[in-house]
């Protein structure tokens, strides 16, 4: 009996030892490379890759839509690094996860659009491989812009669709009620109607619990239930409620014919205070008409969330900085010395330069890396953001204080996009901003003139 009791005790000790090892492994913090902001860098798990080529004439826009899964609520899709070898684009999409946070392993889906630089590609079929998952697209003709006239400023290496076009003059006649004339001109046909049918919430369903100050993506699946074609100039606009750090206006960036469904996404930040919040949104046509759901097209679609607790005192990092990068145009005739061309200003070194004022129709510059630093300028190293296809960028989750927002045109990342040229707004390429608690500093914009001053 004494021998049997000793054996049981040994078995119990072994079981306790194994359990302690298992629990230690469960509580162990994730390991891996960490960026300057304390985020673990991983590789995104990709489920599907699709590629869309848009535009009626070259140069076409090429957008890769990636669908995948994230392991938990703490992890988000990170930066995409794109390279090309002959007829194959290789895309490495990372994930970012705060190294010190613990989350239940509850996988969630994500959708990310990645703009490809396809300017100058020859006609043919190209493969796009994102973390090992492949999609493809075909160009029916060479992706080169038409030969420019001698006088305009040369176009930059990366040109994307213009944002905020001027209000068009309504068409007096139309070829049909299905938006055919509108699709040709890019304007809204005066005889067609704009309506939306809500299909479902793709992410963040009603009353989803979101941690205070947490960044999240809201995606709605909508259907064009009207007779107008939604052109690339249509936009998602904030209507009312809690804006949650979202943009006032965000172009759709693609054409949607009547009856076609589209996933519309917006990046948001949960409020810092416990409670229930609703943010309402509409779509807007190029002529300024705002429309939504219902027979009259007046009902907004929304995101409703619940913040379960207050953010810790002193850690309410819910401010944000937002702006866009654009090509500041100056079309000058050097033979005219007694008149300053429209959109131009006198350069400090003589001659003319773009005036640093954004005008509707001036094109955005996508793919540029913007830097954020703490304190007054010059300062960097806190975070970076990549301008989207419409030139828009945003830094979220910031605490009150002073920050430096800057773009280094000569950096390894930016020089192939921007050089040669110079900044017109701000002239030094950086700007110091001061944020109050919860403030969203808008219009921190950057204008770049690709034509060097003589």
Find residue 83's DSSP bridge partners: 90
CA 405 – CA 417 distance, rounded (Å): 19
Q: Which residues span the domain enclosing 134?
A: 39-139
Q: What is the pLDDT of residue 85?
A: 84
Indicate if 293 and 337 belong to the same structural domain. Answer: no
CATH number at residue 443: 2.60.40.10
How big is the chain, counted in residues? 454
Residue 192 and residue 260 in one domain: yes
**Half-sphere exposure of residue 165: CA atoms within 13 angstroms, side-chain side:** 20
pLDDT score recorded for residue 147: 59
- Structural contact between residues 365 and 417, judged by C-beta atoms closer than 8 angstroms: yes
Q: What is the pLDDT of residue 275?
A: 92
Same domain? 334 vs 233:
no
Tell me, yes or no, whether 282 and 327 share the same domain. no
Does any domain span residue 11?
A: no
Which residues are within 8 A (CB) of 155 and not within 5 positions of it... i.e. 6 or more apart?
Answer: 145, 148, 327, 363, 450
pLDDT in tens, 209-255: 998 888 899 999 999 999 999 999 899 999 999 999 888 899 998 89
Whether residue 327 is found in the same domain as residue 434 = yes
- Looking at the fold, whether 194 and 285 belong to one and the same domain comes out as yes
pLDDT given for residue 431 in this prediction: 95
Question: What is the rounded CA–CA span in Å between residue 73 and residue 255?
Answer: 32
Domain boundary among 81, 114, 139: 139
Same domain, 208 and 293: yes
Query: Is 163 inside any structural domain?
Result: no
Q: Are residues 426 and 335 in the same domain?
A: yes
Do 440 and 324 reside in the same domain of the chain? yes
- Where among 281, 307, 333 does a domain terminate? 307
Domain count, the chain: 3
Per-residue pLDDT tens digits of the chain, which is 454 residues long: 444 455 555 565 555 555 554 444 444 555 667 776 778 888 888 989 999 988 878 888 899 998 888 888 888 888 888 888 888 998 988 888 888 787 877 788 888 889 888 888 988 899 999 998 999 999 888 888 765 544 444 445 444 444 444 444 444 333 344 444 444 445 556 689 999 999 999 999 999 999 888 889 999 999 999 999 999 989 999 999 999 988 889 999 889 999 999 999 999 988 888 899 999 999 999 988 999 999 889 999 999 999 998 877 655 677 889 999 999 988 765 544 567 777 888 877 777 888 889 888 889 999 899 999 999 999 999 888 998 888 899 998 888 889 999 999 999 889 889 988 889 999 899 999 998 887 889 889 999 998 654 3
| 198 and 90 co-located in one domain | no
ω into 416 cis (within 30 of 0): no
Within this chain, do residues 216 and 261 fall inside the same structural domain, yes or no?
yes
Contact, 62 vs 253, CB < 8 A? no
The last residue of one of the domains, among 86, 116, 139, is 139
For residue 119, the tally of other CB atoms under 10 A from its CB is 19
For residues 377 and 442, state if they share a domain: yes
Q: Which pLDDT score is estimated for 221?
A: 95
3-class SS shares of the chain: helix, strand, coil, % to 5: 10, 40, 50
For 388-406, give one letter per residue: b (16+ CB within 10 A) or e: bbbbbbbbbebeeeebbbb
């Amino acid at each position: 009996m004494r021998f049997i009791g000793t054996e049981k005790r040994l078995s119990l000790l072994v079981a306790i030892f194994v359990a302690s090892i298992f629990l230690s492994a469960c509580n162990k913090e994730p390991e891996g490379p960490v960026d300057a902001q304390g985020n673990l860098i991983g590789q995104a798990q990709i489920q599907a890759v699709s590629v869309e080529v848009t535009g009626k004439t070259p140069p076409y826009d090429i957008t890769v839509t990636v669908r995948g899964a994230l392991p938990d609520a703490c992890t988000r899709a990170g930066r995409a690094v794109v390279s090309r070898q002959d007829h194959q684009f290789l895309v490495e999409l990372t994930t970012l996860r705060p190294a010190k946070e613990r989350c239940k392993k509850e996988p969630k889906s994500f959708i990310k659009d990645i703009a490809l630089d396809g300017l100058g590609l020859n006609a043919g079929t190209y493969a796009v491989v994102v973390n090992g998952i492949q999609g493809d697209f075909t160009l029916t003709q060479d992706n080169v812009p038409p030969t420019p006239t001698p006088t305009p400023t040369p176009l930059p290496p990366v040109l994307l669709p213009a944002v905020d076009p001027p209000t068009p003059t309504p068409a007096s006649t139309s070829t049909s009620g299905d938006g055919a004339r509108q699709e040709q001109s890019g304007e809204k046909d005066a005889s067609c109607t704009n309506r939306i049918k809500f299909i479902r919430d793709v992410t963040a369903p009603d009353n989803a619990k979101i941690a205070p100050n947490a960044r999240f993506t809201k995606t709605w699946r909508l259907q064009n239930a009207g007779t107008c074609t939604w052109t690339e100039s249509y936009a998602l606009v904030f209507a009312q409620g809690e804006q949650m750090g979202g943009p006032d206006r965000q172009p759709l960036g693609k054409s949607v014919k009547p009856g076609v469904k589209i996933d519309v996404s917006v990046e948001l930040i949960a409020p810092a205070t416990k409670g229930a919040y609703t943010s309402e949104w509409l779509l807007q046509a190029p002529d300024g008409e705002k429309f939504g759901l219902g027979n009259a097209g007046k009902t907004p679609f929304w995101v409703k969330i619940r913040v379960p607790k207050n953010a810790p005192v002193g850690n309410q990092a819910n401010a944000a900085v937002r702006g866009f990068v654009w090509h500041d145009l100056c079309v000058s005739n050097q033979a005219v010395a007694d008149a300053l061309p429209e959109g131009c200003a006198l350069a400090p070194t003589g001659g003319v330069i773009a005036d640093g004022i954004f005008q509707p129709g001036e094109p955005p510059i996508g793919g540029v890396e913007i830097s954020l630093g703490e304190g007054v300028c010059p300062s960097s190293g806190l975070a970076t953001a990549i301008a989207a296809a419409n030139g828009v960028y945003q830094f979220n989750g910031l605490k009150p204080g002073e920050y430096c927002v800057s773009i280094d045109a000569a950096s390894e990342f930016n020089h192939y996009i921007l050089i040669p040229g110079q900044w017109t707004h701000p002239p030094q390429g950086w700007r110091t901003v001061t944020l109050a608690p919860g403030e969203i500093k808008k219009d921190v914009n950057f204008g770049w003139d690709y034509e060097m001053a003589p």
